[in-house]
């Protein structure tokens, strides 16, 4: 620990930001490979406490090929993933991903995950949307939670790492295309820190908080997207925001897709299983984009149910026919959520649900090894991203349910190994950095934001208006005119953001300051999402334009790349890697 530049400098070989499944899995992979060989020291950094990351809320399952002898195969899982992505996935990455997922399921089983079992003691799997084989491996309906428990507990047995709970990372330091560390605020003391590291990993998850109704945690503000964007790094495919079909009204709490995997029905106000109109063969088990659109269509055409308490329209998710025993064994958490938040027992009553913001298919532009790519498409030396924060892209324009947690595990493994190989082979020295960069960042936060006495704009008021804008204009169905309204409003909010004034001036746990910094990230992301969506004049996966209802492979079979410019994002496009299957019509 050095104090040579007026702030705390902490030296590590690797600094990992974000402690969900991807971050923890990366840390473990580095430590278990090293076993003291190089004596690598790892900093594990989270803006909340370890074990509080939003991966704990993943519910239904984690897909992997476990039973080829029963008819599953890597080809089938890859095909499901690519078809689910509406052909925007990079097929080489998908092919690698499906192969590694299997080992991850078995490895974390050894580390303690209580997978549901068959009677003979082998791991049980179930159906999920868009699958051709029931390969969603699950531990009740708390799959992500149990996976987090196993990873966190396993990490505790290693020595060569330090935890930095409640440290908010404010910037990625990059000089001459080389990663040099992260700057952060220690929320407990308010001190400014520089994590000087040879390698950095961003695993900060998604950005559901851009919306009012979301299944995502208060902490899911997409900080990693903002950090990369501010560092001049490209974001990819951000206009593809996943709406999970079954969010509990009114909050949007996740009701797992596994409910439908176990056989739940979606019914409209007339008691009709309306999915027959939209996906006659898969019905309720169509991929999420299709089911979310179906629900919104039912509501738009007057077949939704009105909830007078919240003023929201919804449809019903009916699990009554599953029976109490099956519900208790396989969906106990959903029952608990119904009881605790609405006083509804799913054994006897259906749940009111509507689509809820759930996942960002887009993210930090990375290559197949998770290396972060710069504006010209070559890797930044020493920087990786994994999990939802990264966009390889495996999920293209729509992620299949049960393909989120395995992405985190697989890419935690891949990135952990790639980081280790880099340090082992290149033996990079601890980076040198001109102090001005750090002093500038310190002044931005503590002088220009915290210390500012002028201005009258309120962080929470702007955040409220941002959420309303995204909810109203950048939702499941989009139109050019709505998106234009969103772009104008976001521009206005960004302007007002320059005049925010914080009323909490303290250093200890100044959440007002943290929320202000998050809001800065969120406004940029909202702009990238809305403008990217406006430019993409087609409908593909989660991006559904009422004014351009068809997929347009001739013009839009390509990834969106957004870079920060002086007047907002600059857009360009790169091709999709198609190695196995040519795009075909997507019918379920």
Return the closest-CA partner of residue 235 out of 568, 565, 564.
564
User: Do β-strands 390-391 and 363-365 pair in parallel, antiparallel, or remain unpaired?
Assistant: parallel
How far apart, in whole angstroms, are the C-alpha atoms of residue 58 and residue 41? Answer: 29
8-state DSSP, 503: S
Return the closest-CA partner of residue 401 out of 544, 288, 235, 315.
288
At its nearest, how many Å lie between other proteins and the CB of residue 255? 10
Q: Which of 135, 212, 260, 551 is catalytic?
A: 260
Whether the bond between 401 and the residue before it is cis, its omega within 30 degrees of 0, is no
At its nearest, how many Å lie between other proteins and the CB of residue 516? 10
How far apart, in whole angstroms, are the C-alpha atoms of residue 278 and residue 129? Answer: 14
Q: What angle do CA 265, 126, 285 make, to 5 degrees?
A: 35
For 297, the 3-state DSSP assignment is helix
User: Do β-strands 568-575 and 558-565 pair in parallel, antiparallel, or remain unpaired?
Assistant: antiparallel
Active site residue 244: yes
Per residue, the 3-state secondary structure of 395-421, as one string, reads CCCCCCCCCCHHHHHHHHHHHHHHHHH
Query: What's the half-sphere exposure (Cβ side, CA atoms, 13 Å) at 163?
Result: 15
At its nearest, how many Å lie between other proteins and the CB of residue 31? 12
Which residues, 6+ apart, have CB-to-CB distance to 17 below 8 Å? 23, 45, 46, 169, 182, 200, 201, 202, 203, 204, 224, 227
535 C-beta neighbours (distance < 10 Å), count: 15
User: DSSP of 103-126, one letter per residue?
Assistant: HHHHHHHHTT----B-TTSSBPEE
Return the closest-CA partner of residue 235 out of 588, 526, 534.
526
At its nearest, how many Å lie between other proteins and the CB of residue 138? 12
Tell me which residues touch other proteins (CB under 8 A). 32, 48-54, 56-57, 103-107, 109-112, 114-123, 140, 142, 145-146, 149-150, 153-154, 156-157, 165, 188, 217-219, 251, 253-254, 309, 333, 336-337, 340-342, 459-460, 464, 502-504, 506, 508-509, 511-512
Active site residue 321: no
At its nearest, how many Å lie between other proteins and the CB of residue 84? 26
At its nearest, how many Å lie between other proteins and the CB of residue 266? 21
| Cα 131 from chain centre | 21
End-to-end C-alpha distance for the chain, whole angstroms: 58
At its nearest, how many Å lie between other proteins and the CB of residue 526? 19
Nearer to other proteins, 91 or 219 (CB): 219
How far apart, in whole angstroms, are the C-alpha atoms of residue 579 and residue 588? Answer: 23
Q: Which of 244, 288, 365, 395 is catalytic?
A: 244
Cβ–Cβ < 8 Å for 527, 491: yes
Nearer to other proteins, 57 or 63 (CB): 57
Cβ–Cβ < 8 Å for 260, 129: yes
How far apart, in whole angstroms, are the C-alpha atoms of residue 276 and residue 81? Answer: 23
Nearer to other proteins, 218 or 546 (CB): 218
Which residues, 6+ apart, have CB-to-CB distance to 113 below 8 Å? 139, 146, 147, 149, 150
At its nearest, how many Å lie between other proteins and the CB of residue 99? 13
- H/E stretch holding 575: strand 568-575
Tokens of 475: 């939702």
User: Do β-strands 8-17 and 42-45 pair in parallel, antiparallel, or remain unpaired?
Assistant: parallel
Residue 99 phi/psi, 5-degree rounding, is: -75, -35
At its nearest, how many Å lie between other proteins and the CB of residue 117? 5
Nearer to other proteins, 178 or 504 (CB): 504
At its nearest, how many Å lie between other proteins and the CB of residue 27? 14
Nearer to other proteins, 273 or 460 (CB): 460
Diameter over CA atoms, the chain: 70
8-state DSSP, 212: S
Active site residues: 244, 260
């Amino acid at each position: 620990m050095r104090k040579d530049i007026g702030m705390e400098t902490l030296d590590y070989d690797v600094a990992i930001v974000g402690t969900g499944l991807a971050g923890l899995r990366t840390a473990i992979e580095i430590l278990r490979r090293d076993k003291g060989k190089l004596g690598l020291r790892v900093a594990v950094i989270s803006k909340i406490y370890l074990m509080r990351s939003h991966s704990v809320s993943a519910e239904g399952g984690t897909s992997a090929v476990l039973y080829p002898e029963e008819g599953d195969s890597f080809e089938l899982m890859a095909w499901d993933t690519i078809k689910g992505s509406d052909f925007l996935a990079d097929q080489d990455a998908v092919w690698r991903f499906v192969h590694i997922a299997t080992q991850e399921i078995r490895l974390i089983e050894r580390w303690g995950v209580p997978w549901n079992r068959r009677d003979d003691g082998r791991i049980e799997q179930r159906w999920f949307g868009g699958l051709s084989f029931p390969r969603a491996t699950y531990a009740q309906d708390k799959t992500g939670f149990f996976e987090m428990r196993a990873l966190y507990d396993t990490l505790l047995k290693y020595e060569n790492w330090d935890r930095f709970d409640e440290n908010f990372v404010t910037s990625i330091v990059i000089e001459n295309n080389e990663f040099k560390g992260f700057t952060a605020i220690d929320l407990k003391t308010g001190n400014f820190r520089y994590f000087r590291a040879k390698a950095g990993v961003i695993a900060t998850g998604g950005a559901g908080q851009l919306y009012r109704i979301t299944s995502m945690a208060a902490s899911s503000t997409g900080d990693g997207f903002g950090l990369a964007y501010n560092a001049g790094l490209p974001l990819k495919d951000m206009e593809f925001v996943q709406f999970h079909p079954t969010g509990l009204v009114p909050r949007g709490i996740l009701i797992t897709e596994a409910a439908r995997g176990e056989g739940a029905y979606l019914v409209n106000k007339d008691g009709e299983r309306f999915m027959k109109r939209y996906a006659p063969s898969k019905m309720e088990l169509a991929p999420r984009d299709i089911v979310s659109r179906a629900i919104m269509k039912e509501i738009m055409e007057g077949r939704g149910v009105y909830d007078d308490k919240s003023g929201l329209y919804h449809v019903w998710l009916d699990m009554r026919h599953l029976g109490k025993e099956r519900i208790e064994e396989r969906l106990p958490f959903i029952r608990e959520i119904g009881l605790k938040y609405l006083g509804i027992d799913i054994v006897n009553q259906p749940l009111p649900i509507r689509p809820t913001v759930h996942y960002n298919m887009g993210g930090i532009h990375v290559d197949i090894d998770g290396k972060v790519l710069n504006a010209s498409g070559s890797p930044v030396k020493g920087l990786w991203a994994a999990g939802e924060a990264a966009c390889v892209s495996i999920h293209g324009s729509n992620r299949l349910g049960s393909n989120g947690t395995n992405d985190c595990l697989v890419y935690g493994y891949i990135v952990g190994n790639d980081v280790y190989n880099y340090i082992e082979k290149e033996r990079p020295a601890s980076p040198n950095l001109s102090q001005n960069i750090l002093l500038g960042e310190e002044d931005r936060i503590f002088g220009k934001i915290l210390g500012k006495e002028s201005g009258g704009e309120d962080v929470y008021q702007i955040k409220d208006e941002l959420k309303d804008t995204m909810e109203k204009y950048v939702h499941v169905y989009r139109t050019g005119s709505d998106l234009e309204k969103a772009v104008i409003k976001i521009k206005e909010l960004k302007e007002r953001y320059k005049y925010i004034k914080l009323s909490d001036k303290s250093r200890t746990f100044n959440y007002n300051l943290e929320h202000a910094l998050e809001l800065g990230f969120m406004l940029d992301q909202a702009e990238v999402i809305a403008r990217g969506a406006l430019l993409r004049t087609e409908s593909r996966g989660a991006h559904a334009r009422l004014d351009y209802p068809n997929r347009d492979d001739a013009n839009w079979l390509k990834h969106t790349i957004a870079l920060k410019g002086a007047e907002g994002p600059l857009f360009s496009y790169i091709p999709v890697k198609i190695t196995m299957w040519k795009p075909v019509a997507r019918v379920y």
